[in-house]
């Protein structure tokens, strides 16, 4: 059986939860066709985040790696196109690191493009009533750091495709944040199931064939 590794960050920035991990952890052991999902929680820490995903990948030998992170303020699923070789943290990470204009990988290329089928993913999400779009910036915090580092790792392998997506806050996170958008964990779970379906079936996928294990609106 082939493997899709999906990762989600731990809480950061004073939040008690991280919607990425809250959704991702529900996917562990999920299967679609010949593919199974392995999940991994990732520390919101420079370098340690990349090392954690690399270690998980070495153990499970995935065909695909999808990293998921929180983007508070964004109203929809944003599938990232590119990661840049720049760490410029507006706040300290969970390890107290706050680099300014430093490379993720010394002497690495300026950027890496996701190798997941980002347009197919967005189209499939739209077909299933989930708001989504391609994003052209993953920021310069640990999300971008992880995407760049994982894509750098995958570029050295012959059989791994990798990418990243951001998700909104959960509803419970915006109770004290007026006018901030949110998305239910069930919808994020449905998003992940849709993406797994796209990755598992390639161009032959049919969005209407997905049998969601959790309800979503």
Is 166 assigned a catalytic role?
yes
Catalytic hit among 22, 67, 80, 86: 80
Is 216 assigned a catalytic role?
no
d(CA 36, CA 29): 6
Give the tokens for residue 147: 């995407």
d(CA 188, CA 98): 29
Is 80 assigned a catalytic role?
yes
Catalytic hit among 145, 152, 166, 216: 166
Catalytic hit among 143, 145, 152, 193: 143
DSSP string, 83-149: EES-B--SS--TTS---SSB-SSTT--SEEE--S-HHHHHHHHHHTT--EEEES---SSHHHHHHHH
Indicate which residues carry an active-site annotation.
80, 143, 166
């Amino acid at each position: 059986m082939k493997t899709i590794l999906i990762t989600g960050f731990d809480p950061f920035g004073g939040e008690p939860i991280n919607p990425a991990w809250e959704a991702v952890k529900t996917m562990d052991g999920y299967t679609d066709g010949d593919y199974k999902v392995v999940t991994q929680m990732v520390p919101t820490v420079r370098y340690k985040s990349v090392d954690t995903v690399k270690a998980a990948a070495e153990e499970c030998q995935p065909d695909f790696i999808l990293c998921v992170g929180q983007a508070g303020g964004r109203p929809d699923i944003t599938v990232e196109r590119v990661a840049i070789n720049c760490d410029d943290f507006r706040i300290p990470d969970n390890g107290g690191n706050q680099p300014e204009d430093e490379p993720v990988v010394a002497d690495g290329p300026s950027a890496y493009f996701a190798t997941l089928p980002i347009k197919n993913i967005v189209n499939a999400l739209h077909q299933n009533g989930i708001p989504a779009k391609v994003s052209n910036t993953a920021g310069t915090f640990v999300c971008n750091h992880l995407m760049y580092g994982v894509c750098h790792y995958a570029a050295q392998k012959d059989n791994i495709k990798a990418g990243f997506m951001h998700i909104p806050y959960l509803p419970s996170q915006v109770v004290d944040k007026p006018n901030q958008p949110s998305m239910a964990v069930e919808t994020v779970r449905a998003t992940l199931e849709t993406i797994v379906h796209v990755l598992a079936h390639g161009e032959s996928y049919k969005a209407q064939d997905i049998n969601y294990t959790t309800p979503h609106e």
